[in-house]
Structure formats: structure tokens, C-alpha cells
Amino acid sequence: MSHNQKNSKAWLQSYVDSPEKQQKLYRRTLFIVVMSQIFGGAGLAAGITVGALLAQDMLGTDRYAGIPAALLTFGSAGAALLIGRVSQRFGRRIGLAGGFLTGGIGAVGVIVSAITSNIYLLFASLLVYGAGSASNLQARYAGVDLAKPAQRATAVSIAMVSTTFGAVAGPNLVDVMGRFAVSIGIPALAGPFILGAAAFLFAGLVLLAFLRPDPLIVANALADRQVIDKSQPIEKQSSNLAINNRGIIVGATIMVLTQIVMTSIMTMTPVYMKHHGHGLREVGMVIGFHIGAMYLPSLVTGILVDKVGRTAMAIASGATLLAAGILAASAPSDSMLLLIVALSLLGLGWNFGLISGTALIVDSTHPSTRAKTQGTVDVLIALAGASGGALSGMVVAQTSYAGLSFAGGILSLILIPVVIWSRSNQKIKEIS
């Protein structure tokens, strides 16, 4: 064994042997993840806000204005798969930092495409920019690697709350960045991507410099130690594996369904409001409340998921989304208050589903396969969001906004039998 390998084993063993060092690293990891998420949220929101407008401006038509959102989503889905696999092999630090830095390069490409009026470069760059979005979502798992079972949902919620600061700041800096861009001879709509590039690159550098020792590598070593200590019989191990597979299916189903329902109704609400005479200010207010409800309740949700249980909060997610769909379907088109309440409930139901589903995935995976599984699940979430957004327009065209909202509410009820199925033959251990 080489000197380097001995040193590597020694530092890792020092964490395995010391619960105090593990908790210290857990708190440090959460702090670093929070820092990266604040910047990552700003980069994500700034780009999404003006991507469609930039394409519209460069093409001179709004026929293809939906392409940037689709490219971002597909880029995010592909990157989620890669980040999960790279993280599994080399650790969270390399996987997440690589995703953010790639997203930053994509943002630089968008700026260059705006200066040169190259639409093909714009579309290619938006695809690459999606990697930053994937890292932003997967970073929530890094804070959970060293969390005790009863801390997991709370750790996820801390990462999500920190994303809010950037996500709220990003769109509000669009005008400022637009004026700054013009002052240095760049088209105004490329301005927010200057912020996006700086934010993603900074988030990547923070993780690259400070996310060490790597939480996933330490979690893997801890899991290996537990297997040696407990050395279970083969029958017991295979029984646990079945429970884990079921937990992964249930966690993924919860997150995919909530993503479809939330994205489809959210996508068509601005269109519905515009058709009924609401201005951009009112649309911005409703979507602002919606985004706030998606992230701000996270800390409370995390504590509830840890204390009340994953199952109860997944059922609460289905019930909240049903209430949102029924209210959005029945609210008079001129009632701002009811639309705000409906979209806030929609965000809250999504929040319940994402945090309870994420906690279930972490509960049901071994660190040796966890990052790869999480990456695959995040691909499904990204594709569910893209499908929900794309199909929502068709549903409204065939029926109405009320028809879409009602259908979304009914679809969310599937969560309840899925959760009951998960409890049927072999009860998944509930953390409470």
C-alpha cells in the first residue's frame, strides 16, 4: 500500500471512529451547500426569467418561445444522470461542482450568442446551461449524506430554503443586469445571463474549494462499517433490499406526480390570467406567491416529515394539491385573492411532496448506490416537469383552464393509494 493510500485510509477512519467529527462535518457540509444554493438559485431564476424573451427577440417570432424552457429541462435531465453517476464514483464535490461550472459555461455561451445573434449557439448553450439547474436540485442530497435518519427531511428543507434567497433575488435583478449589459455594449436580455454565469461559476467554485472531506465518501465508509458490525443473515439482507426498492418507487412516484400537477397548472395560469385582462404585475404577484409557497415553508415541512412521518406528509401533499386544483378550477377569473390562494396551495403541495419523497429516497438507498439512484430519479422529475408543461397547453386547448386544474387535482389523489400500497405487505420503517 502506498503512502498516499495509507493517509487516505487514516483520515477516513478518523471520521468513521468519531461521531463528533461526523456531526461537525454534517454541519459544515450543510453550511457549504447553503452557500452554493443561494448562488445557484440566483443563476437558475435569472436565466429562466428571460430565456423565452431572448429567443423571441432573436427569431422575431414567438412561435418558438417555448424552446428555451424545453432545452433547459432536457439539459437538466441529461446532466442529472451524469452528475449522479460522477458523484457516485468521485464524490459529491466533483459531481455538483462540475454541474455548476458547466452551467456557468452555458451562460457564457448564451451571452456570446446574443452578441453574435447566433440562434444555434443560443439553443446549444441553453442545453448546457441546464446542468446548473440539475446541480441546484441535486445539491439538496449532499446535505443529507451524513444526517441521522431523524434529521434527513430537515436537512433537505434547509437546502431548499436557501435556494429561495437566490430564486427571489434573480428575477428582481433582471432590469439592473439589463441596464448593466447595455452599458458594456451587450444586448439587454443577455444581462441576466451575466448574473447567471457569475452565480453558477461561483457556486461551483465554492463546492470545489470547500466541500471536503466529501460527505458521500464518508457516508459510504460509515455504511461499510455498519455492515461489518451487524453482519446480517442473507434472508434479512434480501428482505431489506425489497423494502428499499419499494421505498425508491414510492419516493420517485410522489415527486414525479407532484411535479406534473404543479408544472401543468403553473404553466397555464399566466396565460389564463392574460386572457382575462390581468396585467403583468398581477401575473407576477400570483407567480411570486406560488414560488414563495414552493420553498419558504420548507423548514417547517422538513420538521413535520421527520416528526409526523413520510407517509402522512405524502398524503397531505395529495390533499393539498387536490384543494389547489379544485380552487383554481372554480375561482372566478377576476378574483386575484382566490388565484393567489390556489397557486399558493399548489406550491405548498409540491413542497410537501418533494421533501417527503426525497427523504424516502434517502431512507431507501445505500450510500454505495445512492447518488446514482438520486440522479436517475431527478431525470424523471425533470422529464415530468417538461411533460406537464408541454401537455398543459393541449389540455387547455381541448377543454379549459378549469378542466386542466380539476384534472391535476384528481391526478394528485393517486398519491394516496401509492402510499397505502407501500405500507401493505411490508411496512416501510417510519421515522417519527
Give how many domains the chain has, as a whole number. Answer: 2
C-alpha cell at 352: 410537501
Q: Residue 430: is its pLDDT beyond 80?
A: no
- What letter represents residue 360's amino acid? L
Is residue 40 within 8 Å of 135, Cβ to Cβ? yes
In this structure, the answer to whether residues 71 and 23 fall within a common structural domain is yes
Q: Within this chain, do residues 183 and 226 fall inside the same structural domain, yes or no?
A: yes
Q: What is the CATH number of the domain that holds 313?
A: 1.20.1250.20
Cβ-in-10-Å burial (0-12, 13-18, 19+) of 63 comes to: exposed
Query: How sure is the predictor about 371, in pLDDT bands with cuts at 50, 70 and 90?
Result: very high
Flag whether pLDDT at 44 surpasses 80. Answer: no
Is there a single domain that holds both residue 265 and residue 190? no
Contact 77, 382 (CB under 8 A): yes
Question: According to the model, what pLDDT value does residue 304 have?
Answer: 96
Q: Are residues 302 and 201 in the same domain?
A: no
pLDDT of residue 241: 44
Same domain, 254 and 220: no
Please report where in the chains the cell 409540491 appears, as a residue.
350
**pLDDT band at 305; cut points 50, 70, 90:** very high
Residue 113 has a pLDDT of 93
Average pLDDT over the chain reads: 85
Instruction: Calculate mean pLDDT across residues 368-391.
Output: 88
Task: Point out the domain boundary residue: 210, 231, 252.
Answer: 231
Q: Angle at CA 302, nearest 5°, toward 268 and 226?
A: 125
DSSP single-letter state for residue 151: G
Average pLDDT over residues 3-21: 75
| Shared-domain flag, residues 266 and 329 | yes
Q: Is residue 6, in this structure, part of any structural domain at all?
A: no
Are 45 and 106 in the same domain?
Answer: yes
Identify the residue with better confidence: 149 or 426: 149
3-state secondary structure of 213: coil
In a domain, 331, yes or no: yes
Q: pLDDT higher for 135 or 166?
A: 135
Contact 361, 372 (CB under 8 A): no
Grid-cell match 471520521, residue found: 15
Q: Residue 7: inside a domain, yes or no?
A: no
What pLDDT is stored for residue 178 in this prediction?
85
Quick one: 104 and 177 in the same domain? yes
Mean pLDDT along residues 13-30: 90
Q: What is the pLDDT of residues 151-165, one digit of tens each?
A: 899 999 998 888 877
Domain boundary among 213, 231, 249: 231
Which of the listed residues 231, 255, 288 is the one where a domain comes to its end?
231
Q: Is residue 2 part of a domain?
A: no
In a domain, 58, yes or no: yes
41 domain residue, yes or no: yes
| 191 within 8 A of 180, measured Cβ to Cβ | yes
User: d(Cα 210, Cα 220) in Å, to the nearest integer?
Assistant: 19
User: Residue 64: which pLDDT band, with cuts at 50, 70 and 90?
Assistant: low
On whether residue 431 sits in a domain, the answer given is no
Mean pLDDT of 298-305: 94
Query: First vs last Cα of the chain: how many Å apart?
Result: 44
Q: What was the pLDDT predicted at 100?
A: 96
Are 241 and 209 within one domain? no
Nearest to 422 by CA among 322, 312, 299, 319: 312
Does residue 355 share a domain with residue 212? no
The per-residue pLDDT for range 211-266, each reduced to its tens digit, is: 989 999 998 888 877 666 554 444 444 444 444 788 899 999 999 999 999 988 98
Alpha-carbon span 171 to 183, nearest angstrom: 19
d(CA 157, CA 351): 9
Whether pLDDT at 83 is above 90: yes
Give 6 or 417, the one with higher predicted confidence.
Answer: 417
Residues 337 and 214 in one domain: no
In which domain, by residue range, is 283 found? 233-425
Nearest residue to 25 via CA among 97, 93, 98, 99: 93
Nearest to 321 by CA among 250, 238, 388, 257: 257
Q: What is the pLDDT of residue 232?
A: 47
pLDDT at 61 over 50: yes
Are residues 220 and 270 part of one domain?
no
The pLDDT of residue 235: 40
Contact 202, 32 (CB under 8 A): no
Is 3 domain-assigned?
Answer: no
Which residue type does 292 have?
G
pLDDT above 90 for 282: no
423: its cell numbers: 405500507
| Whole-number CA gyration radius for the chain | 22
